[in-house]
Amino acid sequence: MDLTSSLLVLGLVCLALLPFAVPGLLEVLLSLAVSSLLVSGALYLGWLPDELWVSLLALAVLAVITALVLWKPLRRLQHSDERLQEDKGISDFVGTPLVLAAHTSKTQASELLFSGVHWQVKLDPECSDSELEAGDSVVISSAQVGLLLVKKA
């Protein structure tokens, strides 16, 4: 395998590993992937001589530059304060009608099997009712990890 193909494979492998990378390794893999693909392209187009030391030097320099350029935007994305799983607007369950299996109130949670998972169910604090009985029809108003907030349908 020649140098161009090897760098191309390195870049593709690094891209394939990105979804499995932990935050500290993510920047390294991404910068290595981008720089190896760029050096591979430069070798293929003849912009760089087909010599190992030149390719490795170009790879190292581009990896450092890419890491410096991508560092802040990636840090900002990873440390975002937005917690998507608790956002009422993006949950697929919001608006889904259910029938309560047990007595539920704003302070006392009940349990419900929904979508193959045992969820804790509480009344939404904005609901006008203070408690509902088993068999009452409700609608999911918010879905958080392990907890469904519901209101009377």
pLDDT in tens, 45-81: 999 999 999 999 999 999 999 999 988 887 777 665 4
pLDDT (tens digit, 9 = 90+) per residue, 108-146? Answer: 889 988 878 888 898 888 888 888 888 999 998 888 777
In sequence order, what are the residues at sequence separation of 6 or more whose Cβ sits closer than 8 angstroms to the Cβ of residue 109?
A: 120, 121, 122, 147
pLDDT of residue 90 exceeding 60, the answer is no
Q: Domain check: are 35 and 55 in the same one?
A: yes
Q: Are residues 74 and 89 in the same domain?
A: no
Are 62 and 34 in a shared domain?
yes
Determine the Cα–Cα distance for residues 88 and 92; give it in Å rounded to an integer.
Answer: 9
Give residue 29's domain range: 3-78
Same domain, 72 and 93: no
In the chain, the number of structural domains is: 2
